[in-house]
Chains A and B, each alone.
Chain A
């Protein structure tokens, strides 16, 4: 789940100008290697994927669900490798602590320590909300490489939160993609989506993502804080996600990404 959130955060790369400039943070240093400016929407999409996806990363995040009866914060640590696989362990609150999730390719398992059961999440369970948030397990199962799934077109340019941005229209290449259309506001210098609207095939708005803080890690600009909102939910103020720490690591242990590690 973290994986999706992290990927989502990255995907929705920051910016957009206006009244309040977006918060920025630099965690690690190295200067990014200068690349030629992209000329087409497809090249922009490729740059977004290059910026946010990596072979391995470790992140600690907190997720605050703004529900009708108040807020609830959940924190978790996630390890991700090869874009497709991730392992997540929930750290708080006490009731969720020790719950683990493992995603290997297109399969997702959850482990509940109280029952010592490993459950394959499939079928209609995939449409269930992750911990009551505005994210679903189905979101986690999406192929994170946008360029694999969407055709892109530039529909305009705007200033969002003080940052110059392209407005990209993404149209799904296949029918079985959860969101048939996406609208992205992409920072023209940092290649991070600052805002994203996700639509169904019918054109109905399904979800929105607004990045309100960014950070630079090892030369990449990534979302630090964002709000995810399920547009179909009549109530609640969405789910805030904050990346507490993030580190790129291409040498994550192989044993971590196995069902055996869920019970450890």
Chain B
């Protein structure tokens, strides 16, 4: 039967070419948009997790309440104890402490006086050999000049920032900041290298320093602003993060002590939850619109086809084929058209998605003044779901369109058939 229907479709291009083309185009759009949204979400999750929130984040309750100000005076103390405890209790998580701090980078002249200054957004991470932070922050690939810090007292500056301050590797730079007690902290560093993060917000004025150096500089011995946790596969899983958070907070959070720790997830901490929900809704709405529009188009195509095949249907009815059989054969044709269009559309969408995944699209210029933590190069992400996401709408739209158009068969009167055929 399928073979019979296929032959019919292939021999009559007017029945197959336009509907397949229409379905293929719609499915292509759905598949590509799915890869596009996946890429956008993954980009945002990774950038946010690696640079700001981790997959889960621990801080004191007092710090969490004012976290946007990075209040290091409210930092988590007894850091070594906490790290040991967390690594023992949650060995599947990579735990890493960080300090976010603000300050000024001051460049001295030959007399030791200020030559030029610039505001800096500092990030202190573990830069020792083998630290996962080097990978999380993609520091090796981001290096533009010099090298990564190898010893105490070395610092990395964003390349654009370094150029603005007119400094090169091995130059001395002075960090002026605040200790966790609020005193002014003035510390000299040697510029080890410069990096370009590909994020406008960081390239403007970021500095990366080893955690121990900053603990000494800011009088934060055995303290850190935040403790980040990353899943071993470096993929954010909201359900796992929520479970972890619930268990941790039940054990350690003490509402009566503002300096007791509290854990929050990436989605909570970054506010990405609403974005994720919005993206999912957008995908659903796009698919729904596609099905409706395609169904209308294919219904229309089916009606035109029905008119064109009016005689054929009449003959088939006249020779004794039942109306339901004809109707079902039309639906069978629709399924074949839907499948064909969906396969072609999926192939096209996946291929374009892969192209964008590997080549990327540099839209950094749009974000040059932005403080959003997004990477400048956008990449799509093709997932297994991308390969099937277009199929159901593709087949469904064809089926609905043809089912509506084919209803006319049931209105044909057998008694009138020969009269109609005579005309």
A interface list, Cβ under 8 A from B = 65, 67-69, 72, 74, 95-96, 99, 110, 112, 114-120, 123-125, 128-129, 131-133
Contact = CB atoms under 8 A, between A and B. Distances in A.
Contacts of B188: 115, 117
Contacts of A65: 181-182
B301 to A, nearest CB: 66
A68 B104 CA distance: 26
A229 to B, nearest CB: 15
Nearest to B181: A132
Contacts of B113: 118, 120
Q: Which of A65, A123, A131 has the most CB of B within 10 A?
A: A131
B112 interface: yes
Interface in B102-157: 104, 106, 108, 112-114, 117, 119
B357 interface: no
Interface string B170-202: 000010101101111011100000000000000
A129 B182 contact: yes
Contact of B181 (A67, A110, A128): A67
A137 to B, nearest CB: 9
A114 B188 CA distance: 9
B73 A115 contact: no
A132 B184 CA distance: 8
Given A69-B73, A117-B186, A123-B117, 10 more contacts: A65-B182, A110-B186, A112-B184, A112-B186, A115-B174, A117-B174, A120-B113, A124-B119, A128-B178, A131-B183
B203 to A, nearest CB: 21
A133 B188 CA distance: 24
Nearest to B77: A69
Interface of B: 62, 73-74, 104, 106, 108, 112-114, 117, 119, 174, 176, 178-179, 181-184, 186-188, 219, 258-259
B interface majority secondary structure:
strand
Q: Which of A99, A110, A115, A128 has the most CB of B within 10 A?
A: A115
A95 B219 contact: yes
Contacts of A69: 73-74, 259
Contacts of B119: 124
Nearest to B219: A95
B378 to A, nearest CB: 34
Contacts of A95: 179, 183, 219
Given A117-B112, A119-B114, A132 B183 contact: yes
Nearest to B258: A68
A120 B73 CA distance: 25
Given A68-B73, A69-B73, A118-B113, A131 B184 contact: yes
Contacts of B258: 68
B219 A115 contact: no
A120 B104 CA distance: 12
Contacts of A67: 73, 181-182
A127 B115 CA distance: 21
A117 B104 contact: no
Q: Which 4 A-B pairs have the closest CB atoms?
A: A132-B182, A112-B186, A115-B188, A131-B183
A133 B62 CA distance: 19
B62 A119 contact: no
30 contacts: A65-B181, A65-B182, A67-B73, A68-B258, A95-B179, A95-B183, A95-B219, A96-B183, A99-B184, A110-B184, A110-B186, A112-B184, A114-B187, A115-B188, A117-B112, A117-B174, A117-B188, A119-B106, A119-B174, A119-B186, A124-B119, A125-B176, A129-B178, A131-B182, A131-B184, A132-B73, A132-B181, A132-B182, A132-B183, A133-B182
Contacts of A72: 181
Nearest to A112: B186
A117 B106 contact: yes
Contact of A114 (B74, B114, B181, B186): B186
A195 to B, nearest CB: 25
Contacts of B104: 125
Contacts of B176: 119, 125
A93 to B, nearest CB: 9
A99 B219 CA distance: 15
A131 B174 CA distance: 19
A199 to B, nearest CB: 24
A117 B181 contact: no
Contacts of A125: 104, 176
Contacts of B112: 116-118
Contacts of B183: 74, 95-96, 131-132
A125 B104 CA distance: 9
B223 to A, nearest CB: 11
B62 A68 contact: yes
A115 B186 contact: yes
Contacts of B74: 68-69
A116 B181 CA distance: 22
A112 B73 CA distance: 21
A123 B104 CA distance: 11
A156 to B, nearest CB: 36
Contacts of B178: 128-129, 132
A74 B179 CA distance: 14
A238 to B, nearest CB: 13
B102 to A, nearest CB: 10
A67 B73 CA distance: 9
Contacts of A116: 112
A120 B113 CA distance: 8
Contacts of B117: 123
B188 to A, nearest CB: 5
A125 to B, nearest CB: 7
B225 to A, nearest CB: 14
A211 B188 CA distance: 40
A235 to B, nearest CB: 8
A72 B179 CA distance: 13
Contacts of A119: 106, 114, 174, 176, 186
B109 to A, nearest CB: 11
A8 to B, nearest CB: 18
A133 B179 CA distance: 12
